[in-house]
Amino acid sequence: MKAIIVKPPAAGVQISNVNEKDLSNYGYLKIRTLYSGVCGTDREVVNGKLILSELPKGKDFLVLGHEAIGKVEESYEGFSEGDMVMPVNRRGCGVCKNCLVGRSDFCETGNFREAGIVGMDGFMREQWYDDPRYLVRIPKSLEDIGILAQPLADVEKSVEEIFEVQKRVPIWSCDDGTLNCRKVLIVGTGPIGVLFSLLFRTLGIKVWISNKREPNETEQILLEEARINYYNSVNDYEELSRKVGKFDVIIEATGADAGLITKILPLLERNGVVGLFGFPVSGSATIDFKSIQQIVHANKVFLGLVNGQKPHFQLAVSHLASWKTLYPKTSKNLITDTVSIDEEKEVLKILKEKRRGEIKMRISWD
Amino acid sequence: MKAIIVKPPAAGVQISNVNEKDLSNYGYLKIRTLYSGVCGTDREVVNGKLILSELPKGKDFLVLGHEAIGKVEESYEGFSEGDMVMPVNRRGCGVCKNCLVGRSDFCETGNFREAGIVGMDGFMREQWYDDPRYLVRIPKSLEDIGILAQPLADVEKSVEEIFEVQKRVPIWSCDDGTLNCRKVLIVGTGPIGVLFSLLFRTLGIKVWISNKREPNETEQILLEEARINYYNSVNDYEELSRKVGKFDVIIEATGADAGLITKILPLLERNGVVGLFGFPVSGSATIDFKSIQQIVHANKVFLGLVNGQKPHFQLAVSHLASWKTLYPKTSKNLITDTVSIDEEKEVLKILKEKRRGEIKMRISWD
Amino acid sequence: MKAIIVKPPAAGVQISNVNEKDLSNYGYLKIRTLYSGVCGTDREVVNGKLILSELPKGKDFLVLGHEAIGKVEESYEGFSEGDMVMPVNRRGCGVCKNCLVGRSDFCETGNFREAGIVGMDGFMREQWYDDPRYLVRIPKSLEDIGILAQPLADVEKSVEEIFEVQKRVPIWSCDDGTLNCRKVLIVGTGPIGVLFSLLFRTLGIKVWISNKREPNETEQILLEEARINYYNSVNDYEELSRKVGKFDVIIEATGADAGLITKILPLLERNGVVGLFGFPVSGSATIDFKSIQQIVHANKVFLGLVNGQKPHFQLAVSHLASWKTLYPKTSKNLITDTVSIDEEKEVLKILKEKRRGEIKMRISWD
Amino acid sequence: MKAIIVKPPAAGVQISNVNEKDLSNYGYLKIRTLYSGVCGTDREVVNGKLILSELPKGKDFLVLGHEAIGKVEESYEGFSEGDMVMPVNRRGCGVCKNCLVGRSDFCETGNFREAGIVGMDGFMREQWYDDPRYLVRIPKSLEDIGILAQPLADVEKSVEEIFEVQKRVPIWSCDDGTLNCRKVLIVGTGPIGVLFSLLFRTLGIKVWISNKREPNETEQILLEEARINYYNSVNDYEELSRKVGKFDVIIEATGADAGLITKILPLLERNGVVGLFGFPVSGSATIDFKSIQQIVHANKVFLGLVNGQKPHFQLAVSHLASWKTLYPKTSKNLITDTVSIDEEKEVLKILKEKRRGEIKMRISWD
């Protein structure tokens, strides 16, 4: 069957005809692939830059792909033929308590596997077999944007964890019982930044999103429709601080240089949280003793945010569904383009580099 | 201006021309009424059966109506002319801490007011002035079913509280981290029963809904589209218990005879919750010592559920928005009919009695 | 070896010489028994009144005893020869998630065992072998009252669960951040009532304790030293309600007639909790529709409370230790008397009936 | 009356006779001072090194002292003549919600005051008047070590907050339901380090405590009695990491150089928390991009920890009471010495510099 394969740590990607028996499967429910999503992590694997990427044990290649929607081929354990499903991409270590209760986002051993990335064939192939435990139902009405449920699941988990952590503050809600008075700064306007901003807006929170340039046209639609504020950070964050004040939550969603953390720290409000989502690839965060005093004195938190599990996929499905009603124009822009697996050259191209203005690219397999 | 008025504790309702100065207002933001929802509580007031209903202080009539959508007439404090808004119907006592933080659903004094019911003119009038603190934004795309955000807010609060209470159980989630293995029985198929069932389904939980008859056509659509189970309880609950086993959550949403509680108690699973939402109007619940032993022995809970506040209205808006995508056929059936305020006879009729097969009736004011 | 054995469901108790090989053990850590506590449940088993009591599988007798302190005979897995330990009395079903994480107080299957009561030999014998997982360290300085850690563990779990449930109330703490303004009524002055009252006082809460008589001398010391209020409920609760008002928490700790619940319900404050701890042995609680309306309207809760596990034993040890400092006179009264196992007649007598004015009776084995 | 006064930002301290009318009071309950505790922060004020120290508005001196025990002189609002009390040292801003609910440890405005440090006369004076809201009852049996309730309150709040934050981890408890398997590293062996280690031990957690030298005699008693591990970090933390592995919680309690954070970070376990308690006075923490990746990837947290409020003082009283039973030898060593206010020269000396081997120094006023 056709599959997109990589050979980490080597760079490179190819569309191959692979023998069914050379591919790993994870259960007995047969799924035919409909769509794959392409994400920055895929490109890091393809370009040989993701150090933690690992071949499945005893194999010399890895099927790429951790964002997928498929169609159930044979009814099985609560799923019916024709149902659309999305696989959860991280699979538990099988040993620790958190993995046993379906929460390998908090795996204690670190021995989880990640489809298409670490030690487990991904879903960029014509079909696979899986375990219903790891499958999330995607309603037909979400065929268009449902592929975003995977990255959005990571964002859902992050926001859930931030709110969980803020329960340490006796009253963090506003005078009207909501969180509408709280302000969030999201640094980075990639797909993750966009999903964070839509989710925080859905929850009523005031959102600022920043990048080192003016917003593009697609972003303008998002900003207007969801009433999000934009800040051009090309000259750093002082102007933002002066005009808007401090932020209750700051999300680092660039995965750029770690030095960014030093710059955004002064914008954090008392009792606030810096959520670290992006994987920085260079530099260092330097926090001087006066800033540490401020962290101590004002109950500030730094929080590493990673991976959503099945409950977060389900939340993501519900929020995507709501956005089609709440933010209809933005919803239509979320999928930048869909490329057929038959257009091999174009598929390989989008796997290697980001398309200009891209939010999310899809490969269709049908 | 035109207003629908009642004079509790006397039965009766009329559409009157009332002098603006005889009506209470709650702030400076001018709102023109678009829609009013009609609910069972309105009919209890109209029929002189709601003992707790109270005139505003020093007044001899009460404007009815606690479910409303209006249009902002003049921009003010974050709201712009033309924005659609819904008022929060319960207003705080102004004294206790919970009211001060916008959570008068947990008012400690009991001195809150309820629009159109207790001591505060409601919203069945052409326009009113309100405080932005108590206004919830309704997106244009929810003009059709947004009126349900008020009753759904009560349901959102209830589900939130049930989940909060279940945090007492060290692990209440399922093997896959979700709540998909949990079973809920909702007793009563009125609008509240329908909203509970849709909300629990959105959260992945297995739902049974029961009434003492076969489901009607509208209910059939709901059951199929949202994969909800139905039980005809005309011969009590033994068959259900035998076939399906016990339930982790049971919601009493009939407001019928208190004796029902005695009947549903044996269906409650270990560590389970009975959520009491309906206001019973007759009878008694009798719980014998062996049942009390079971409650003690198996960590069972009875929980009174009442009133959603602004955060729950916002959740309700988001869920209604998602349902248009997730349950499109059901969404179209949620508003049974809209009657213009100019059809006075019909308006008075729907205020006095439920229409056959009704889920939610609306009055339009425009 | 010497052991106190029963043969439920038959009444009767005897001190026998039992062959070591006829006794069940639970691990490899050898423990020599120092003290056994005698509790109401033991007497129910002895008097053939505890229906749920069960013989160990395939056995025709049961060793009694679920409150014990022993001395480690051989160092093993973190415990050293000479350490004093107390066994956790309920052991998990081995299947459900809550049991797997050491919280069989919330066992989902109901297939747990209870030492000396349900399907598992207890600790009224000269020695046994156990699993360190189920052993709690008792410091030497608590040899005198440490036996109370078992019943207090049940009380610790109950209070923890009540507080957990009250997190549903946005602000349940007082103006000064404590719970000092909250009022608890404890119905019943047996050992459980005494332990509840001391624990709530340690936490700063105002406590009323009631029984259908005037307090005895020992109770007078407790009331004065821990500043606890007493109410003689011989003429029901109306006077209490009139004088003191309503209670935020009411603990049913009598295990008498279920009808008591009907009587105490009107004393429950808005947002309050009735904690059901006692096992009623007769009667029914009748709650009429108006009371149900009150439960719904005012967010009231009924909560079944049962069984503490290892974390609660550890809390109990810490609180007992604090009480020797905080309530020194009361602490000296908590153990009413210690009877040597060699005084067989007296041992059998205290196993059959409560001694007048008793709080806790101990059997010494050394 | 006699008072110990300072004039920040100037260095210096003196024992003066001050006119009653020149001193600030906070309520109507008259308290005669029994003991003052001396703490590192007092010495920083005295030595002119605490930048944030501030005179009370419109005054040219500040009464020192934030750790005090006094005797109630006249019965008032629930307190009786002769009761021992301790004042809560931080007082709310009067504006933000957290201060209104008695939790100015999470003050949102930062406009709180700190007795003897920031804008509010402290308690190193013969007597003062206070508001019962800010007074904590100290039982007579804690007259010896009760002065520690103030610093311990800060530690109680810290541990409470760490546990609150760890609720983000689905299962953070051990197989037996306790936290006994969790490992804490406390960096610093000053009074705060000692209090953290005793509190974590009381909760069952495994504790390592470190300093850049071998433990002294007093520390040896603590280590043995409370079964605490010691690590001499003179050659950094590699050996500790190699021998013991990683830690679930690391407490920075030195207040030394911020660079220490860089060194301890590699010892943090997956899902772990670094609690920042000490106020570093020099240097910077540098966290390179690979360490940031680890924080993200493994759900790690940095958490600023500051100030306990009245609920934490009450917990502190209960824990101090328990330690007299659980750790009797250590308890006797906690107060290093008591110096009478009449020994002026010695009082001034201990206010300027730490005594060798000191845990806590007291001044007696009686």
Amino acid at position A226, single letter: A
Burial of D13 (0-12, 13-18, 19+ CB in 10 A): buried
SS3 state of residue B323: helix
pLDDT tens for A290-330 read: 999 999 999 999 999 999 999 999 999 999 999 999 999 99
| Predicted confidence (pLDDT) at residue A141 exceeds the cutoff of 90 | yes
Contacts of D292 in chain A (CB under 8 A): 258, 261, 276, 279-280, 285
Contacts of A77 in chain B (CB under 8 A): none
Chains in touch with B (3+ beta-carbon pairs under 8 Å) read A, C, D
Q: What phi-psi label fits residue C307: left (phi over 0), alpha (psi between -120 and 50 degrees) or beta?
A: left
- What is the CA angle C25-C30-C34, rounded to 5? 100
Pick from C193, C194, C229, C237: which is nearest to C212 by CA?
C237
Pick from C293, C243, C287: which is nearest to C262 by CA?
C287
DSSP B125: B
Pick from D152, D2, D128, D150: which is nearest to D66 by CA?
D150
Please judge whether D168 and A164 are an interchain contact, meaning their C-beta atoms are less than 8 angstroms apart. Answer: yes
* DSSP secondary structure, D251-306, as one string: EE---SBTHHHHHHGGGEEEEEEEEE-S---B-EEEEEHHHHHHHHHTT-EEEE--
pLDDT tens for B336-350 read: 999 999 999 999 999
User: Residue A108 CA to chain centroid, in angstroms?
Assistant: 21
pLDDT tens for D194-238 read: 999 999 999 999 999 999 999 999 999 999 999 999 999 999 999
| Predicted confidence (pLDDT) at residue D256 exceeds the cutoff of 90 | no
Pick from D60, D51, D120: which is nearest to D87 by CA?
D120
Amino acid at position A72, single letter: V
Question: Residue C255's pLDDT band (boundaries 50, 70, 90)?
Answer: confident
How far is residue A157's CA from residue A140's CA, in Å, rounded to a whole number?
Answer: 24
How far is residue B362's CA from residue C166's CA, in Å, rounded to a whole number?
Answer: 37
* Topology classification of domain A2-137+335-364: Quinone Oxidoreductase; Chain A, domain 1 (3.90.180)
CA nearest to B312 within chain A: A178
The pLDDT, as a whole number, for residue A195 is 98
Residue D52, C-beta contacts closer than 8 angstroms, at least 6 positions apart: D117, D118
The pLDDT, as a whole number, for residue B9 is 92
Please judge whether B300 and C304 are an interchain contact, meaning their C-beta atoms are less than 8 angstroms apart. Answer: yes
Beta-carbon contacts below 8 Å between A and B: 96
Contacts of D288 in chain A (CB under 8 A): 258, 283-284
The pLDDT, as a whole number, for residue D28 is 96
Helix%, strand%, coil% for chain C, nearest 5? 35, 30, 40
Residue owning tokens 């435990």:
A133
How far is residue D157's CA from residue B307's CA, in Å, rounded to a whole number?
Answer: 33
The pLDDT, as a whole number, for residue C213 is 97
Please judge whether A173 and C170 are an interchain contact, meaning their C-beta atoms are less than 8 angstroms apart. Answer: yes
ipTM: 0.97
SS3 state of residue C301: strand
- What is the CA angle D95-D97-D98, rounded to 5? 110
Phi and psi at B138, nearest 5°, equal -115, 120
Burial of D82 (0-12, 13-18, 19+ CB in 10 A): exposed
Pick from B291, B282, B292: which is nearest to B258 by CA?
B282
How far is residue A63's CA from residue B268's CA, in Å, rounded to a whole number?
Answer: 47
Distance from CA of D166 to the nearest CA of A (A): 8
User: C-alpha distances in angstroms, B215 versus B188, B222, B226, B309?
Assistant: 11, 10, 14, 32
The pLDDT, as a whole number, for residue D255 is 85
Identify whether the C-beta of residue B361 lies closer than 8 Å to the C-beta of residue B336.
yes
* DSSP secondary structure, C113-168, as one string: EEETTBEE--S-BSEEEE-GGGEEEE-GGGTTTGGGHHHHHHHHHHHHHHHHHHTT
User: C-alpha distances in angstroms, B94 versus B26, B66, B102, B305?
Assistant: 13, 20, 10, 22
Mean pLDDT, chain B, whole residue set:
97
Domain D2-145+335-364: CATH superfamily, name plus number = Medium-chain alcohol dehydrogenases, catalytic domain (3.90.180.10)
Please judge whether D178 and C314 are an interchain contact, meaning their C-beta atoms are less than 8 angstroms apart. Answer: yes
Identify whether the C-beta of residue D93 lies closer than 8 Å to the C-beta of residue D154.
no
DSSP B285: E
Distance from CA of C109 to the nearest CA of B (A): 8
| Predicted confidence (pLDDT) at residue A50 exceeds the cutoff of 90 | no
Residue A12, C-beta contacts closer than 8 angstroms, at least 6 positions apart: A6, A46, A48
Distance from CA of B319 to the nearest CA of C (A): 22
What's the mean pLDDT in D139-149?
98
Identify whether the C-beta of residue A360 lies closer than 8 Å to the C-beta of residue A147.
yes
How far is residue B363's CA from residue B348's CA, in Å, rounded to a whole number?
Answer: 10
Interface mutation vs chain C, best among D176, D318, D320, D334, most C CBs within 10 Å: D176
Identify whether the C-beta of residue B186 lies closer than 8 Å to the C-beta of residue B197.
yes
Phi and psi at B222, nearest 5°, equal -55, -50
Distance from CA of B104 to the nearest CA of A (A): 9
Contacts of A174 in chain C (CB under 8 A): none
CB nearest B277 (choices: C261, C294, C296): C296
The pLDDT, as a whole number, for residue A51 is 81
The pLDDT, as a whole number, for residue D145 is 98
pLDDT tens for A36-48 read: 999 999 999 999 9
Identify whether the C-beta of residue C89 lies closer than 8 Å to the C-beta of residue C151.
no
Question: Residue B256's pLDDT band (boundaries 50, 70, 90)?
Answer: confident
CATH 3.40.50.720, applies to C153-304? yes
CB nearest B101 (choices: D97, D170, D171): D97
Interface mutation vs chain A, best among B80, B142, B178, most A CBs within 10 Å: B178
> What global pTM score does this model have?
0.98
Contacts of B171 in chain A (CB under 8 A): 101
Helices C149-166, C191-202: crossing angle, 10 deg rounding: 50
CB nearest C101 (choices: A97, A171, A173): A97
How far is residue A183's CA from residue B366's CA, in Å, rounded to a whole number?
Answer: 36
Identify whether the C-beta of residue A198 lies closer than 8 Å to the C-beta of residue A251.
no
Contacts of C90 in chain B (CB under 8 A): none
Contacts of A302 in chain D (CB under 8 A): 295, 301-303
Task: Mark C29-60 as b/e (b = at least 16 C-beta within 10 Å).
Answer: bbbebbbbbbbbbbbbbbebebeebbbbeeee
- Other Cβ atoms less than 10 A from the Cβ of C174: the count is 19
Give the 3-state DSSP-derived string for A291-313, with helices as H, strands as E and coil as C. HHHHHHHCCCEEEECCCCCHHHH
Contacts of C101 in chain A (CB under 8 A): 97
Hey, which bits of D57-182 come out as E strands? 62-63, 68-72, 84-87, 90-91, 113-115, 119-120, 127-130, 135-137
What's the mean pLDDT in A62-88?
97
R_g over Cα of chain C: 21
Identify whether the C-beta of residue B32 lies closer than 8 Å to the C-beta of residue B74.
no
pLDDT tens for C49-67 read: 888 899 999 999 999 999 9
Phi and psi at C244, nearest 5°, equal -110, -20
Please judge whether D177 and C318 are an interchain contact, meaning their C-beta atoms are less than 8 angstroms apart. Answer: no
Task: Mark A140-176 as b/e (b = at least 16 C-beta within 10 Å).
Answer: ebbebbbbbbbbbbbbbbbbbbbebbbebbbbbbbeb
SS3 state of residue C36: strand
CB nearest D301 (choices: A101, A171, A301): A301
Residue B289, C-beta contacts closer than 8 angstroms, at least 6 positions apart: C257, C258, C280, C281, C282, C283, C284
* DSSP secondary structure, B174-205, as one string: -TTSSSTT-EEEEE--SHHHHHHHHHHHHTT-
What's the mean pLDDT in B160-169?
98
Please judge whether A299 and D304 are an interchain contact, meaning their C-beta atoms are less than 8 angstroms apart. Answer: yes
| Predicted confidence (pLDDT) at residue B51 exceeds the cutoff of 90 | no
Mean pLDDT, chain D, whole residue set:
97
Tokens of A130: 């899986």
Write the class of the CATH domain B2-138+335-364: alpha beta
Tokens of C200: 């709530």
Burial of D235 (0-12, 13-18, 19+ CB in 10 A): exposed
| Predicted confidence (pLDDT) at residue D366 exceeds the cutoff of 90 | no
Chains in touch with A (3+ beta-carbon pairs under 8 Å) read B, C, D
How far is residue D128's CA from residue D20's CA, in Å, rounded to a whole number?
Answer: 9
Domain boundaries, chain A: 2-137+335-364, 153-304
What's the mean pLDDT in C150-172?
98
SS3 state of residue A351: helix
pLDDT tens for D147-166 read: 999 999 999 999 999 999 99
Interface mutation vs chain D, best among A107, A163, A176, A289, most D CBs within 10 Å: A289
Task: Mark C242-256 as b/e (b = at least 16 C-beta within 10 Å).
Answer: eebebbbbbbbbbbb
What's the mean pLDDT in B168-197?
98
